[in-house]
Structure 1
Amino acid sequence: MTTLNPYLNFPGTTEEAFNLYKSIIGGEITMIMRFRDMPDDKTPENEKDKICHISLKFPNGNILMATDTLESLGQKIILGNNFYLSLGVESEAEADRIFKELSPGGKVEMPMEKMFWGDYFGIVQDKFGTQWMITYTYPQAK
């Protein structure tokens, strides 16, 4: 089953925002990765504890995800680029098809590839300006 979840960008305030959202809406933080956890991390020392990725699973099962955008890494929040739609799909082939079909007239931010955290992942902005994160999560060995 394909899933769709919002992915937000914050200017260094992700952890504060997610603590607030959790206190208001409830749910559980199911994943938190800091920039210091990244392989080949080039983040300045004073920003290493900023959030690279966080997931908040709401009581109904929806998931809100986010990251801190860091100007020191060349990232900047501009109205309109502070969110993505994160599309979870059921196979690499489906990920490739959707990515390919969203790309014409748009902009590839990150091509589909196997990532260090174990998913098949890519980012594309379609011709309408909508930003998509496409993810296929490989089955876990039992």
Structure 2
Amino acid sequence: MQVEPYLFFDGRCEEAIEFYRKVLGAEVTMLMRFRESPDPPPPGTLPAGSEDKVMHANLRFGDTAVMVSDGRCTGQPGFQGFALTVGLPDVAEVERVFGALADGGQVQMPLEKTFWSPRFGMLSDRFGVAWMVMAVTEE
């Protein structure tokens, strides 16, 4: 069994993909736009002009797969009740990634030493996705 997150960006998916490619080295392994669907959405389910929005994409972050979409572009984005966790091999990389994810976002817990990690912090990025960033080994 495999459980993978599926994130809906309400019209900002392409921007999010580029951001995660730049910050985390995400690899796009598949991307389909609404206009490319073999079964078009029922009339009235997508706002006009959404044809080029991302219907579905797969991202690979190292060994982890995350699925993303623009969703139905309803104007009601929201990410609540979860956080994505990224473990990195050293404190310098943690500080780089945390700073990049925090740019335009909101820090809930600044980076600090904890009993389980030499550096750990929590934030929501510019898209509202919650992240926990930590060093997984002592330097």
TM-score normalized by the length of structure 1: 0.47
TM-score normalized by the length of structure 2: 0.48
